[in-house]
Chains A and B, each alone.
Chain A
């Protein structure tokens, strides 16, 4: 993503908040997003530091010390938090762009120490942005515990865990303006948001991203537009209409979604501005009784000079380009056309829309575009994008849950 905005300085995102406030969830989502848009980003946490330290007992969770009065636990935790910070510094000193820190940050003193550590050890320009998650809605906290923590605590009851959090809360100090930090406070999953001293392109983007997050686990359906005559001729690109088979398949898609969506008309429904996308969406939409939003952002990748040619013709006419593409499929740009990186950039507003939506999302688009969307939810590295398999007549259903994304695929016959 060299041509897109690369900050002149490194960025550190520090998470603050009591347990079961969604810090880990936020850090995972942010990390995934930042890597997807082309930054080299990584999370540094107590848990991570523990996993790297083979001398420690991996069965004990030092991130959530079970007994607050256990001095030894507290010391190990301090040490791990410090180790994570040091690993973060090494990462940024080399080729890392953005680092997320999920360690000891609950008191003013902790934060002061962290700031000093960065100042002392980081020998380049950097910016720190603090992200605090606050929650006083017991139902939300309970949900968070159920979805994420309980699997790690087999012998703890929820009640014990809540009590433990209450004890921690007594020493917890929320971010204050007097600390002179640039921050965002997300209160009750973004119902109330406070931003202080926001600066810079990347932080503005991150704030916009965070404003859209919510805790609804809704389904996302990714589907390719149906068959066209170009498919039959093995041509790529172009703006062909659906073939007869394509229209039939669209009808079957529509039937499938009638069952899946069970009459929900509030879904977020997008398609591209290409004829095959619009036609597929019209047929499906008619069956469901809803209209799709047409956006040029979902148009297929621009094949430039290769547009409308068959695969064989391209191999014959542009062998040099084929070689280049094999060598670097992600960054390869079709002459007078686009690369996958361009498509990612183009499709970013759609990701915001998907994230913001609390209702199921249905996207009818095209191969390259769907690879990029799919990668946002499933891939850890964008290098994998060109190899993702997005078959035709197949509905890919993604359900993002904390720390993962469930996936199922259904072939429509």
Chain B
């Protein structure tokens, strides 16, 4: 749907004290909007400050009475803002301004600059407010201590200094007021209270709905393909066939695996199990959920990619009967649409409600799906580029467990032998190594 909804540029500006999840929200939004196909970038003021002023800044740097430091900080904010405006005026579509923006004065400056210097821009201010000391402490532990600012300090001193930094900001903090006349959403104590003011338009409404569903409960997401089917064995695509003997065995072993993962029935009752309406997936879900003694939900949105006229053929047959299509697909697997069928891009669009549903869920989620669908889901949570989606490896008879952490997703892959039930954690493949490198290096750098 996004082809023609791109008329206006959008600037999303964060507001909030340190350790309130602003960067977390920025990155989630960045992921989501890129996923929907928009050119989106995050501009983090802290990164600019680290580059310009260095990383060894203790809390006195953030004291509003420290004139020299305040001037330096304002300059950094201005530089970040200038880059953001240039981005929107060129090919950027959505820019996220990740900074504290805790005073009316600063917000007014940013809002005026944006409206004056950007052609046709809509702004949305996202304020994160939290007064739960435990949550804040946890945030600091998870995200700040690895920060380059504290590389040379021990955790206790670092925490103490950071809390001191927060106090500096608190002294001048002014929450967004109605008379600033800004479009805003306030997220208070991780969505316990939400306030929305003057929000209009397709994309902003979508962003609001997305934000309302965010939380930080680290619930695991299990992704698995249905057990092997008769078509899998014959290397055919499409169809609505049933499980092979091995497939049935895998389903049983999978059920046993999950029994061990969730030792008590109470824990099992919390599992949110989703599957498609196709026989092979439903049959797998039947077996698994019977063992776990839980219900599952069938969603047509999780049905495998529609291969149109190629339904039921083997890859060899497709190469012979539709050689141009076969060649085209090899060149551009992402955008290629099977005649009377779907493309990966269509899939990505189709599974959007599932992504909402999984994001919203605070309980463990188990998705029993199909290869193409799972590639899309996996890529969303693992922050792969969309171009990588068609090549991602989602092996049969294996379960992937994703646990969302602060700025990335932890992953464990376990191959389950259908006959013996032997579980083997699959070695890190190139995919995961790349992600680990990315997260360690880039968790505090501009995206």
Contacts and interface: CB of A to CB of B under 8 A. Distances in A.
A208 interface: yes
Contacts of A345: 300-301
Nearest to B185: A193
B191 interface: yes
Contact of B195 (A4, A193, A297): A193
Given A3-B298, A204-B213, A198 B178 contact: no
Nearest to A308: B340
A342 B300 contact: yes
A290 to B, nearest CB: 10
B202 A191 contact: no
A336 B1 contact: no
A353 B195 CA distance: 22
Interface string B271-292: 0000001000000000000000
A174 B72 CA distance: 46
Interface in B37-59: none
B4 interface: yes
Contacts of B301: 345
Contact of B192 (A196, A239, A294, A307): A196
Nearest to B295: A8
Given A4-B299, A211-B205, A293-B1, A196 B193 contact: yes
Given A193-B196, A196-B192, A293-B1, A353 B357 contact: no
Given A208-B209, A296-B346, A296-B349, A192 B197 contact: yes
Nearest to A352: B205
B299 A198 contact: no
Contacts of B297: 3, 5
B199 interface: yes
**Chain A: interface size category:** 20 to 34
B405 interface: no
A295 interface: yes
A279 to B, nearest CB: 17
B49 to A, nearest CB: 34
B191 A198 contact: yes
A195 interface: yes
A211 B311 CA distance: 41
Question: Which residue, A5, A192, A197, A291, has most C-beta atoms of chain B within 10 A?
Answer: A192
A198 B350 CA distance: 26
Interface residues of B, number: 35
Question: Which residue, B277, B340, B342, has most C-beta atoms of chain A within 10 A?
Answer: B340
Contacts of B209: 204, 208, 211
A338 B303 CA distance: 12
Contacts of A177: 193
Interface string A267-300: 0000000000000000000000001011111000
A192 B196 contact: yes
Nearest to A193: B196
Nearest to B340: A239
A195 B346 CA distance: 33
A356 B349 contact: no
A88 B209 CA distance: 30
A345 B209 CA distance: 18
Contact of A295 (B1, B195, B212, B277): B1
Question: Which residue, B192, B196, B277, has most C-beta atoms of chain A within 10 A?
Answer: B196
A192 B208 CA distance: 13
Q: 6 nearest interchain CB pairs?
A: A195-B194, A193-B196, A3-B298, A208-B209, A293-B4, A192-B197
Interface of B: 1, 3-5, 178, 191-199, 202, 205, 208-209, 212-213, 240, 277, 297-301, 311, 340, 342, 346, 349-350, 357, 360
19 contacts: A3-B298, A191-B197, A192-B178, A193-B195, A201-B357, A201-B360, A204-B209, A204-B360, A208-B209, A211-B199, A239-B340, A293-B3, A296-B342, A296-B350, A336-B311, A338-B300, A345-B301, A353-B202, A356-B202
Given A196-B193, A296-B342, 8 more contacts: A177-B193, A192-B197, A192-B198, A194-B193, A211-B205, A296-B350, A338-B300, A353-B202
